[in-house]
Amino acid sequence: MKTNINKTNINKSITGSEALLQSLLNEGVDTIFGYPGGQIMPVFDCLYDYKKAINHILVRHEQGATHAAQGYARVSGKVGVALVTSGPGATNAVTGIADAMVDSTPMVVICGQVPSALLGSDAFQETDIVGISQPISKWAYQIRKTEDIAWAVSRAFYIASTGRPGPVVLDMTKDAQIGLIDYVPRKETHIRSYIPVPDMEYDQIEEAARLINEAQKPFALVGQGVILGNAEQELLAFLRKADIPAASTILGLSALPSDDPLNTGMLGMHGNVAPNMKTNECDVLIAIGMRFDDRVTGDLKTYAKQAKIIHFDIDPSEVNKNVQVTVPVLGNAKETLVEVTKRLKTNEHAEWRSSFQALYRTEYEKVIQRELFPQTGSLKMGEVVNRITEATGNDAILVTDVGQNQMAAVRYFKYKQSRSIVTSGGLGTMGFGLPAAIGAKYGAPNRTVCLFAGDGGIQMTIQELGTIMQSKVDIKIIVLNNYFLGMVRQWQELFFRERYSETVMINPDFVRLAAAYNIPGSVVSRREDLDAAIAEMLHTPGAYLLEVRVEQNGMIYPMVPAGTCVTNILLGVEEDGK
């Protein structure tokens, strides 16, 4: 066994597998999530000698490897790495690749492949993963020659991490893995025709500043692009100088501290009332690093028609894709925000900002108070989330699965620092949460990681409890169990005449199941027992599973029905029947 790994080996004859690992070390990789198999076995054999240099986390399913790599990337700001075999190993990774593409998550997925001589012969476990993944990745490339490894890996990391980030797929034939090469490190910093960050156009900067200076009712929409660009401080300076209220997309949450006076809450279908309503009242709408997703805009024919729209984005393809804008400001938000801020007048919009207050009160009285502080009845998802975020001092990392659990969690969890939320936004992948939480803990080992999952989503990747057991991953798992596929049930109740077709769930004993993986846990169903159960979870060393049995017919409000105007907001049925 090697005891000294030299990450800058030059002109030493090594195998392609070792060249791959050396190239990963050159990119700063310290953690890989993977699962071995026949066509990637040479790499795993070489990995045996690199245990001190690279921490490999053995997942239980290749989808888990990709979601874990996503969680790692989202909280660390680094590129996540997944390592899988060919055929079903590669196709199992496709969901994570697609998820990363939609949510702009930097990730490199390395797949084994049959020997070059067998390509196209339908050999055992041969699948055209390059062809499959090209539409859902930034770049997909098949490495057939050992001498191409250093170049391909460096290029992959450069593409994945620059501009608008995203996933890259490397398909590595077996002969490339076992061939010998005099290894020379590579560092790609330029690719012809690939322009990761467009040049700033100062006429756009000037016009954007002019519109903001003249605005009486400016409103900012904050997306994940602020976080990806490490532009949180620049955003705060921009908002404070011009006194601009702001709201966030789901992926943009935590770019602003939850308690910042300018933070008006969350946009979208289950977002806060005030920012959704004020979108259609502001005179200048400033979108920063967001893509005008349909869950944010609702009916485009009625979206912000009264406003001049400024769109800050690093990706030119997003400008005018869904919403026609008045002024595009292309570039990295960390740079463009500074340039616009220089040109802003110090302003104050006290009357405009105070106009949000009546809407805050309406939402609090009709939704939030009843969700967070109920006096009777079954436990509600929102109150569970609220009690847990308070118990962590609002300083934990939130990871969610998808569904009602996700919407309750993102609505009521609170954030003090950036990179504190990991959720599947654009693809809405059930099963995302558990493996993503594993990755998040490796990406931020010194922070508490709280996963909220429903009883449906947790069972899609529940085998990753084995990963937690083997690798001793310290995450807190909260299963919000309502014995339903809750979000589908909500839509069935509202839009399908309460015909609950195939949404009732008969579930296992989650606590006993966790115990089989040596993970302690408990069940709580009574309000008076909740705080003690949360305290036990948070103070128990290592992983813990808390099953909370919540109301079966709970609804997530507010809700903007799909495809309607953002001001068409349902607040639910009055409990007193009025």
Active site residues: 62, 124-125, 174, 487
Beta bridge partners of 421: 398
Question: Cα–Cα distance between 110 and 565 in angstroms, integer?
Answer: 43
Question: Cα–Cα distance between 58 and 84 in angstroms, integer?
Answer: 10
CA 14 to chain CA mean position, Å: 37
Nearest to 511 by CA among 467, 543, 556, 552: 543
How many alpha carbons lie under 13 Å from residue 187 in its C-beta half-sphere?
5
Cα 100–429–114 angle (5° rounding)? 60
Tell me the pairing of strands 263-266 and 327-330.
unpaired
Residue at 481: amino acid letter: N
Beta bridge partners of 451: 399, 477
Cα 407–32–21 angle (5° rounding)? 155
Q: Are 5 and 53 in contact (CB under 8 A)?
A: yes
Helix (H, G, I), strand (E, B) or coil at 192: coil
Question: Cα–Cα distance between 546 and 520 in angstroms, integer?
Answer: 9
Cis peptide before 558 (omega within 30 of 0): yes
Q: How far apart are the first and last CA of the chain?
A: 75
Cα 421–426–429 angle (5° rounding)? 80
Q: In terms of DSSP H, where are the helices of 424-559?
A: 433-443, 465-471, 486-495, 510-516, 530-539
Cα 318–236–339 angle (5° rounding)? 60
Question: Cα–Cα distance between 278 and 481 in angstroms, integer?
Answer: 35
Q: Are 31 and 22 in contact (CB under 8 A)?
A: no
Nearest to 31 by CA among 72, 84, 75: 72
Helix (H, G, I), strand (E, B) or coil at 226: helix
Q: CA separation (Å) from 364 to 221, 272, 312, 335?
A: 22, 10, 32, 37
Helix (H, G, I), strand (E, B) or coil at 74: helix
Task: For residue 369, give every residue at least 6 positions away whose Cβ sits within 8 Å of its Cβ, in sequence order, or none.
Answer: none
Interior/surface letters 424-458, b for 16+ CB within 10 angstroms, e for the rest: bbbbbbbbbbbbbbbbbbbbbeebbbbbbbbbbbb
Question: Cα–Cα distance between 42 and 37 in angstroms, integer?
Answer: 10
Rg over CA atoms, the chain: 24
Q: CA separation (Å) from 198 to 204, 208, 213, 319, 333?
A: 13, 17, 25, 13, 11
